[in-house]
Structure 1
Amino acid sequence: MQALKQFLHSLSVQNRSAHTISNYRRDVEMFLAFYLTGETEVKRTGEQAERLSQFNGWSTIPSDAIRSFLGDRVQQGISARTLARQLSAIRSFYDFLLLEDKVTKNPAKGIRAPKQPQPLPKSLDVDWTRKLLEQPLNSWQDVRDQAIFELLYSAGLRVSECTDLDLTPGLDQLDSGWVRVMGKGQKARLAPVGSKAQEAIHHWLDIRKDYAQADERSVFVNRQGERLSVRSVQKRLDQRTLQAGLPTKMSPHRLRHACATHVLESSGDLRAVQEMLGHANLSTTQIYTKLDLQHLAQVYDQAHPRAKKGK
């Protein structure tokens, strides 16, 4: 495969790492082995090795062959990251062949690699969550923050849903265990609020009037008496994490994820968690199923670590 050797040499001239060059060689050889024999294992001796070494028909390989190769790799359980690299190797090789006038088109152009799965944030165990939330409150900001963090964890809110929360209609049903939030796509929903979060919010509301501007509608305000920003919530959470001595990086979304994880681990009710978080879908193949609020409240009360009094 003189063309492949020339391609690898060009990578070396470009100061690409030995690791990258080795991967690209293996990826192109693996694809060619699959195209010629239907196998991705590259054999260094025998009939396959001879066919690989003598092959020069790169211009005859269609796009469907590359798609078939990727599909076969998916069935073998190869990670999306590896598949993306292998497609990149094939595409780069054909770009080189185009520059060398050895082919007239790149069959890998327009083929998309499988999507990289987005890793979920690491959850918090219940003990770490409790340690974060049960810190001394030494200032009015601490009281406000306690209400925010309890609410994020209790209701599984997005941080923007929390900072966008208004006194009304947001807290109209607080004493019944619900807050009304505006989620993605301007879709309103009721989110459950446990007793610990209710107590923290009421504690904040008792002093809020001393710090909020008279016409301010938002539940949570900054030192100027105006709506608190998402960035401010993150900064305050960073401070609370240090105060609690937790050896981890914290984010508001991690509290939301912890809420979902703890409820799901205790209840096993995926649809209730889906409703609570305001997800239209939990996966691309799962149909969204509505639950009535009574069922959601029952699952939540039984499963959330801070839903009931006395916890």
Structure 2
Amino acid sequence: MHGYGQVITAYLEHLRHVRRVSSHTVAAYRRDLDAAAETLAARGCPDWQRVSAADLRDLLAARHRAGAKPASLARLASSLRSFYTWQMREGRAERNPAQDVRAPKKPAHLPSTIDVDDLAGMLDVEPDDTLAVRDHALLELFYSAGARLAEVAGMDLADLDLAAGEARVIGKGNRERTVPVGSRARTALSRWLTERGALAGVDEPALFVSKRGTRLSRRSIGLRMERWALSHGLPVHLHPHKLRHSFATHLLESSADLRAVQELLGHANISTTQIYTHLDFAHLAKVYDAAHPRARGRAEDE
């Protein structure tokens, strides 16, 4: 491995003394590059300059077949890209064969959903104080709108239109979208708005505020959600994204309209969102009203 080892040593010295990365990071690069060099040498590549993109893809594929985890493969691919970038800058290489080499994607692990009946048991309650009224409205909004934690935490009073059953949220990439607010959520939010003045500062724009009268933080929302689930007997751990995933799953189970659900969720993937640009909110609201378990029901009769 002489043709490989000297270059690795020089690169690690660069990381250590020029970039001043941590010893842990240097050790990780050493493991990745030493292992890659050993495999490549065994395949007949005499040095780093003779390595092709196909060689590196074969290397990652072999590691994948041997059981390497996607995260480890992604780190190896990243290490090789950075290593070759440095070699080109130092005049040690004329090309970067790792530039377009990507590791197998890590499979998406969606959070488990919450049973509709379990959710109903947790939400069909009568809150007995101001903070409980706020938390109940929070939970109903999360499940009604399928919103992200940051989106709900960032909502202002001006973003909510209860009469229309809509709310404006700012999603990833500062993209704005309209989300539905079902009848159960409207009832809970109306009650919160009557109580909000007891906590909120005069000039506070936030929809949800803390005991101090300022915007409720993301961390506080998560903690309050966990506490609510425990105190109301929910048999599973609760967090905002689990409600978002339950929202999507329950709608898909009822409507089978994947396009509408993706639009309602505000997916960031441009190739996905472009497919659904012809869907307007009226269509989405129709799907929502017909399918969401808390869009209609007893609240309309109470």
The TM-score with structure 1 as length reference comes to 0.68
> Which of the numbers 51, 73, 92 marks the counterpart of 1:62?
51
1:309–1:79 Cα change, 3 Å? farther
- 1:231 is displaced (CA, Å) by 0.8
> Which of the numbers 128, 145, 161 marks the counterpart of 2:151?
161
> Equivalent residue for 1:117?
107
> Equivalent residue for 2:294?
306
> Equivalent residue for 1:244?
232
> Equivalent residue for 2:163?
175
How far apart, in 1, do the equivalents of 2:219 and 2:75 lie?
Answer: 38
- Indicate the SS of the match to 1:175: coil
Verify the 8 A CA contact 2:70 2:103 in the aligned structure 1. Answer: no
Structure 2 unaligned regions, length at least 5? 1-34, 84-91
- Indicate the SS of the match to 2:177: strand
1:205–1:81 Cα change, 3 Å? same
- Indicate the SS of the match to 2:163: helix
Task: Say yes or no: does 1:221 pair with 2:209.
Answer: yes
State the AA in 2 paired with 1:236: R
How far apart, in 2, do the equivalents of 1:165 and 1:249 lie?
Answer: 25
- Indicate the SS of the match to 1:124: coil
- 1:218 is displaced (CA, Å) by 1.3
Deviation by residue 1:49-93 (Cα, 9 ceiling, x = unmatched) = xxxxxx78341773234345268779x99988369559959x99x
- Indicate the SS of the match to 2:202: coil
- 1:289 is displaced (CA, Å) by 1.3
Deviation by residue 1:254-285 (Cα, 9 ceiling, x = unmatched) = 1111111111121111121122112243x856
Q: Which range moved further: 272-281 or 112-121?
A: 112-121
How far apart, in 2, do the equivalents of 1:208 and 1:56 lie?
Answer: 69
Deviation by residue 1:221-245 (Cα, 9 ceiling, x = unmatched) = 1111111111111110110111122
Q: Which range moved further: 118-127 or 251-260?
A: 118-127
State the AA in 2 paired with 1:124: I
Moved over 6 A (4+): 70-74, 76-80
How far apart, in 1, do the equivalents of 2:282 and 2:255 lie?
Answer: 15
Verify the 8 A CA contact 1:80 1:114 in the aligned structure 2. Answer: no
Q: Percent identity?
A: 42
Deviation by residue 1:275-298 (Cα, 9 ceiling, x = unmatched) = 2112243x8567441211211111
- Indicate the SS of the match to 2:223: helix
> Equivalent residue for 2:134?
144
How far apart, in 2, do the equivalents of 1:164 and 1:86 lie?
Answer: 33
- Indicate the SS of the match to 2:178: strand
- Indicate the SS of the match to 1:59: coil
> Which of the numbers 293, 296, 305 marks the counterpart of 2:281?
293
Q: Which range moved further: 173-182 or 195-204?
A: 173-182
How far apart, in 2, do the equivalents of 1:190 and 1:67 lie?
Answer: 45
Aligned residues: 256
> Equivalent residue for 1:231?
219
Matches within 5 A, 1:1-311: 57-59=44-46, 62-69=51-58, 81=69, 84-85=72-73, 88=76, 111-168=101-158, 170-171=159-160, 173-281=161-269, 287-290=274-277, 291-310=279-298
How far apart, in 2, do the equivalents of 1:67 and 1:87 lie?
Answer: 13
- Indicate the SS of the match to 2:69: helix
1:119–1:109 Cα change, 3 Å? same
- 1:212 is displaced (CA, Å) by 1.4
Q: Which has the larger radius of gyration?
A: 1
The TM-score with structure 2 as length reference comes to 0.70
State the AA in 1 paired with 2:143: Y
Deviation by residue 1:200-224 (Cα, 9 ceiling, x = unmatched) = 0001111211221222221111111
Verify the 8 A CA contact 1:80 1:113 in the aligned structure 2. Answer: no
- 1:157 is displaced (CA, Å) by 1.1
State the AA in 1 paired with 2:52: S
Structure 1 unaligned regions, length at least 5? 1-23, 33-54, 96-103
